[in-house]
Amino acid sequence: MAARQRSDDDYDVLLKVVLIGDSGVGKTNCLSRFCRNEFQTNSKPTIGVEFATKQLTIDGDLVKCQIWDTAGQERYRAITNAYYRGAVGALLVYDVTRQKTFESIPRWLSELREHASADMVVMLVGNKTDLKDQREVAVEAGQEIAQREGLLFIETSALEGSNVDEAFSRVATEIHSIIRKRRL
Ligand code: GDP
């Protein structure tokens, strides 16, 4: 018998999580690593919002994470309100080998404050830790800004697959626990 496709009604919780950060930091590859366990070395040709989903079980609840990727729109500063609408979590990604992408964090945070809900769970993600010889941003610098701005923090390598699942899972778990408390 063919397996029945799940509908949104089958899930206890649906979460929209957005990826933001400068172009080339590895947002698309974090998404494809988490949702499909894939890594792409070539840069993507398409422009436009894309999303992928992944199912998690958190505290016995079936949670569907819908993860949105800018797919290049950030290059043109063209991320719209619709991108952030309904999002309960964000991964703000920078590239640990490019200081410039780290310096963009305040701009991304102010964009979040302008468009996103105030209680959104935000995680700062320093990606490309595999490029050890090219590191320009110390782990302590990431920790410091995360602490100051009240963000979760992690460093990842989408290439090696290190900490990528943890990044998304921690954000989803944090959101889930906030939703649970509200239900009580
Ligand atoms: P986006 O523009 O932020 O979505 O970035 P992409 O996911 O398209 O990645 C940009 C480039 O960085 C591509 O050439 C990827 O192969 C590369 N890249 C992404 N993540 C990593 C990583 O963790 N390590 C290394 N070495 N390269 C990465």
- Quote the CA–CA distance of 107 and 98 in Å, as a whole number: 16
Question: Rounded to the nearest whole angstrom, what is the distance from the C-alpha of residue 178 to the centroid of ligand 1?
Answer: 31
pLDDT tens, 87-133?
A: 999 999 999 999 999 999 999 999 999 988 888 999 999 999 999 99
Mean predicted lDDT score pLDDT of the chain: 89
At 106, which helix (H) or strand (E)? Answer: helix 105-115
Q: Is the dihedral of CA 30, 171, 35, 45 positive or negative?
A: negative
Instruction: Classify the complex by whether its ipTM is higher than 0.90, answering yes or no.
Output: yes
Q: What is the pLDDT of residues 44-80, one digit of tens each?
A: 655 556 889 999 999 999 999 999 998 666 666 667 7
pLDDT of residue 1: 46
Instruction: Give the residue whose CA is nearest to atom 15 of ligand 1.
Output: 41
